[in-house]
Structure 1
Amino acid sequence: MKNITTRLATLDDIDQLAALFDAYRQFYELPPDLALARQYILDRMLGNESVLILAEDETGAPAGFCQMYPTFCSLAAAPIYALYDLFVLPEARHLGAGRALMLAAEAHALRNGAVRLDLTTAKTNLPAQCLYSGLGWKRDDIFYAYSKTLAA
Structure 2
Amino acid sequence: MSIEIRRAGNGDLDLIAPLFDLYRVFYGKPSDPALARDFIEARLGRDESVILLASVDGTVAGFTQLFPGFSSVSATRTWILNDLLVLPVARRRGVARALLTAAADFARADGALRLELETDHDNATAQALYRGMGWVPYDGTLRFRLPLR
TM-score, with structure 2 as normaliser: 0.97
Equivalent pairs counted in the alignment come to: 149
2:131 aligns with 133
Superposition TM-score, scaled by structure 1 size: 0.95
Partner of 1:6: 5
Query: Deviations 1:9-55 (Å, cap 9, x if unpaired)?
Result: 01111011001000000000110001000100000000000000000
Query: What CA distance in whole angstroms lies between the structure 1 residues aligned with 2:120 and 2:139?
Result: 15
| Secondary structure at the counterpart of residue 14 of structure 1 | helix
Sequence identity, in percent?
44
Calculate the aligned-residue CA RMSD, in Å.
Answer: 0.9
| 1:1-152 equivalences in 2 (<5 Å) | 2-58=1-57, 60-151=58-149
Q: Structure 2: which amino acid aligns with 1:78?
A: T
Deviation at 1:127, TM superposition (A): 1.0
**Any unmatched runs of 5+ in structure 1?**
none
1:142 deviates by 1.5
Deviations 1:64-92 (A, max 9, x none): 10000111011211111011111111111
Moved >4 Å (runs of 4+):
none
Separation in 1, partners of 2:144, 2:49 = 22
What is the CA–CA distance in structure 1 between the aligned matches of 2:59 and 2:45, rounded to whole Å?
A: 24
Which amino acid counterpart does residue 75 of structure 1 have in structure 2?
V
- Structure 2: any 5+ residue segments left out of the alignment? none
Q: Distance in 2 between matches of 1:90 and 1:140?
A: 29
Provide the rounded CA distance (Å) in 2 between the counterparts of 1:8 and 1:22.
19
2:144 and 2:123 map into 1 onto residues whose CA distance is 19
Secondary structure of 2:16 counterpart: helix
